[in-house]
């Protein structure tokens, strides 16, 4: 029996030993679904606090219940360690580490590089490795393959297997989960794709196989670039509608009445999160090495990045029309998380809006039920105001930046002197209301 056949047999019998490298919002849910499928799973993470919590049966990811972790740890299907040497006894490893941007806007590959170097120390014949971290096309073949293959005397597709499968975890979502979200899988060789698909199909419902790792890497970038560009389009529509004196929210609702050929996006104060504003820039960066300028990505990024400034300028104009100056005005920013009803503030446009208001001399406070404190890019730490309605009443201007469902918008509207609504959170109550200006 050859290596491939033997490994596929072990994967189907669930005797293959699994490691998940990086136990964050992608790695932990993935470790859980493999453990629940019956595999023996080891989560490897350099963060000792995560390792300690998991081995105590505690979850630190909202989407993964502690009861689930406790059950799997008690049954012996899941354990955690910071010791990469366990990889010498591992048959299948999935890499789920962050791929942020550097301050210069270039991809920060340091997490992938360091975990690959650790993995390379323990590579042995009969292993399959899958990279899940969103990255530029070519990463798996150009960065991982040499270090895990040739440098270790292994031959990809023969005695070890390497593939890319983009994570599709949407924190907080309950309808599409790690198990039921279709999973794209592309191997360095056909045999790699076959082995990796055989592994993941033991735990996930649907595997969508593609012909190469590059196709899988690019599919993920298309998914998130699609969103980034359409959000940029609708943000520019908001700017154009304001110049035209047309209500962009009415226009979007009208366009969305078309039952085919249209997908609704809504304008806002900018683009937050660790995926949408970042992933497309991995593609535009890679294309520069081919002397190609990714026009749509660059333009959408420019529009989206400018939205916080556009919102603050609109606030300044609206205050001016009411005979007030922004300098010295009490401004309350409502909602700081990067999208509604979650506690994640990464890349949130609220941080830019707060910083820009402060630069214009406004006295800025914020409220967010999910974000008790925050640091703007160069400002001191701020705490969410303790009493929302007192802050609303005392403010010269309330700026709705993130439209959490938890807010009683009618009460806020009744109590506020003036509201700038960048999310149409007030809906009809905010239309043609002298106290309200909408994006």
Distance of alpha carbon 232 from alpha carbon 299, whole angstroms: 8
Q: 3 or 134, CB closer to ligand SAJ?
A: 134
Q: 265 or 296, CB closer to ligand SAJ?
A: 265
How big is the CA angle at 206 (ends 203 and 212), to the nearest 5 degrees? 105
**Minimum CB–partner distance for residue 231 and ligand SAJ (Å):** 5
If binding is defined by CB under 6 A, does position 275 make contact with ligand SAJ?
yes
Distance of alpha carbon 417 from alpha carbon 403, whole angstroms: 19
Give the residue carrying structure tokens 């002298």. 434
Residue of 231, 238, 300, 326 interacting with ligand SAJ (CB under 6 A): 231
Chain residues 155-184 in contact with ligand SAJ, contact rule CB under 6 A: 167-170
Give the residue carrying structure tokens 């509604």. 340
Specify the stretch interacting with ligand SAJ by CB under 6 A; choose among 85-93, 189-197, 267-275, 285-293. 267-275
Reduced to 3 states (helix: H, G, I; strand: E, B; else coil), residue 182 is coil
Q: Which of 141, 274, 123, 303 is nearest to 218 (CA)?
A: 141
Distance of alpha carbon 79 from alpha carbon 77, whole angstroms: 7
Residue nearest to ligand SAJ (CB): 273
If binding is defined by CB under 6 A, does position 338 make contact with ligand SAJ?
yes
Can you list the alpha helix ranges (DSSP code H) found in 93-189?
Answer: 110-122, 139, 145-148
If binding is defined by CB under 6 A, does position 276 make contact with ligand SAJ?
yes
Q: Which of 376, 420, 377, 384 is nearest to 401 (CA)?
A: 420
Residue of 272, 280, 335, 430 interacting with ligand SAJ (CB under 6 A): 272
Residue of 271, 283, 333, 436 interacting with ligand SAJ (CB under 6 A): 271
Residues 341/321, Cβ–Cβ less than 8 Å? no
Beta strand extents in 215-371 (DSSP E only): 330-334, 363-367
If binding is defined by CB under 6 A, does position 341 make contact with ligand SAJ?
no
If binding is defined by CB under 6 A, does position 314 make contact with ligand SAJ?
no
If binding is defined by CB under 6 A, does position 266 make contact with ligand SAJ?
yes
If binding is defined by CB under 6 A, does position 326 make contact with ligand SAJ?
no
If binding is defined by CB under 6 A, does position 268 make contact with ligand SAJ?
yes
Q: 54 or 275, CB closer to ligand SAJ?
A: 275
**Minimum CB–partner distance for residue 21 and ligand SAJ (Å):** 18
Q: 149 or 277, CB closer to ligand SAJ?
A: 277
Q: 168 or 314, CB closer to ligand SAJ?
A: 168
Q: 61 or 169, CB closer to ligand SAJ?
A: 169
Distance of alpha carbon 354 from alpha carbon 401, whole angstroms: 10
Specify the stretch interacting with ligand SAJ by CB under 6 A; choose among 66-74, 224-232, 313-321, 356-364. 224-232
Give the residue carrying structure tokens 């990086």. 22
If binding is defined by CB under 6 A, does position 425 make contact with ligand SAJ?
no
Residues 62/172, Cβ–Cβ less than 8 Å? yes
Q: 271 or 364, CB closer to ligand SAJ?
A: 271
Q: Is 275 tagged catalytic?
A: yes
Choose the catalytic residue: 96, 192, 275, 331: 275
Residues 418/398, Cβ–Cβ less than 8 Å? yes
Residues 183/202, Cβ–Cβ less than 8 Å? no
How big is the CA angle at 409 (ends 407 and 414), to the nearest 5 degrees? 130
Specify the stretch interacting with ligand SAJ by CB under 6 A; choose among 103-111, 125-133, 265-273, 371-379. 265-273
Distance of alpha carbon 265 from alpha carbon 304, whole angstroms: 13
Beta strand extents in 67-175 (DSSP E only): 78-81, 92-95, 127-131, 160-164
Residue of 4, 152, 183, 227 interacting with ligand SAJ (CB under 6 A): 227
Cite the active site residues. Answer: 275
Residues near ligand SAJ (CB under 6 A) are: 167-170, 223-224, 227, 231, 265-266, 268, 271-273, 275-276, 338-339
């Amino acid at each position: 029996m050859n290596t491939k056949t033997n490994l596929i047999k072990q994967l189907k019998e669930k005797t293959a030993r699994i490691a998940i490298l990086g136990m964050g919002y992608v790695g932990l849910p993935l470790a859980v679904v493999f453990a629940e499928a019956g595999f023996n799973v080891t989560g490897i993470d350099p963060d000792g606090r995560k390792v300690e919590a998991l081995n105590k049966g505690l979850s630190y990811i909202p989407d993964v219940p502690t009861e689930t972790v406790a059950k799997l740890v008690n049954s012996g299907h899941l354990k955690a360690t910071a010791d990469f040497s366990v990889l010498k006894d591992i048959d299948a490893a999935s890499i789920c580490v962050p791929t942020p941007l550097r301050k210069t806007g270039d991809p920060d590959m340091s997490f992938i590089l360091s975990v690959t170097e650790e993995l390379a120390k323990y590579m042995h014949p009969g292993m399959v490795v899958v990279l899940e971290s969103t990255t530029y096309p070519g990463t798996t073949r150009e960065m991982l393959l040499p270090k895990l293959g040739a440098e270790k005397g292994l031959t990809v597709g023969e005695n070890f297997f390497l593939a890319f499968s983009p994570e599709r975890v949407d924190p907080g979502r309950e309808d599409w989960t790690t198990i039921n979200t279709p999973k794209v899988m592309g191997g360095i060789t056909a045999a790699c794709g076959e082995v990796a698909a055989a592994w993941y199909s033991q735990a996930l419902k649907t595997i969508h196989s593609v012909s190469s790792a590059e196709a899988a890497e690019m599919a993920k970038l298309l998914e998130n670039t699609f969103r980034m560009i359409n959000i940029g389009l609708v943000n520019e529509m908001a700017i154009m509608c304001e110049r035209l004196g047309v209500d962009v929210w009415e226009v979007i609702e009208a366009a969305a009445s078309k039952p085919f050929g249209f997908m609704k996006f809504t304008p806002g104060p900018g683009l937050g999160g660790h995926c949408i504003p970042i992933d497309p820039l991995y593609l535009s960066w890679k294309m520069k090495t081919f002397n190609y300028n990714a026009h749509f990505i660059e333009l959408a990024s420019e529009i989206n990045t400018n939205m916080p400034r556009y919102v603050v300028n609109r606030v300044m104009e609206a205050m001016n029309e009411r005979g007030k100056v922004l300098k010295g005005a009490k401004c309350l920013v409502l909602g700081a998380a990067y999208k509604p009803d979650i506690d994640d503030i990464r890349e949130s446009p609220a941080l830019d809006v707060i910083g820009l208001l402060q630069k214009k001399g406004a006295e800025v406070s914020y409220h967010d039920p999910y974000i008790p404190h925050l640091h703007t890019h160069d400002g001191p730490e701020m705490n969410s105001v303790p009493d929302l309605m007192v802050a609303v009443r005392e403010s010269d201007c309330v700026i709705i930046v993130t439209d959490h469902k938890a807010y009683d918008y009618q009460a806020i509207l009744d109590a506020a002197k003036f509201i700038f609504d960048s999310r149409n959170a007030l809906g009809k109550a905010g239309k043609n209301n002298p106290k309200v200006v909408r994006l």
